[in-house]
Amino acid sequence: MSYNRDALAAELIRDEDERLKVYRCTADKRTIGIGRNLDDVGISKAETAALGITVASVISDGITREQSRALLANDIAVCERQLDAKLPWWRGLCDVRQRVLLNMCFNLGINRLLGFKNTLAKMQRGDFAGAAAGMRASLWARQVGARSTRLAAMMEKGTA
């Protein structure tokens, strides 16, 4: 099953916000666009070639909305590849639940997401109420507030 990429993009924009000038995120990392961490991820050579930007140019000049959306598409593709490699069963979930995992991977990174061992096992077994309860009980939920409430409800119900 394939998820609705436009819906995911809208959800990530809602949850991350979109800023065309560099700012410091809650982890004190230089960030731009829709949650692109410039300190840890930067701008790839392929992105420089395709978009005409570098970390230095982004810091001094910012980016356009189109460049922001292109970076988002690349970041989503990275999350997809990471989930495919580490949690290949995720593709068998319904559209909404796939978007929940992508959103969490985008926010946490794959390594921190993999720390949700019991929650992920419940998702894989189809115990979506249990998975949602695990999400709600996590430190991550306390840190991200309304985002976790929305995502846990989506996981539990399978609807947005």
Q: pLDDT digit string (tens) for 33-73?
A: 999 999 999 999 999 999 999 999 999 999 999 999 999 99
- Note the pLDDT tens digit of each residue in 128-156: 999 999 999 999 999 999 999 999 999 99
- Report the DSSP pairing between strands 19-24 and 36-37: unpaired
Strands in 19-24's sheet, in edge-to-edge order, are 19-24, 30-33, 36-37
Q: Does domain 5-157 have CATH number 3.10.580.10?
A: no
Q: How many CB atoms lie within 10 A of CB 22?
A: 18
Q: What is the pTM of this model?
A: 0.95
Query: Which DSSP helix (H) or strand (E) runs through 32?
Result: strand 30-33
- Residue 21, SS3 per DSSP: strand
Asked if residues 135 and 154 have their Cβ atoms less than 8 Å apart, the reply is no
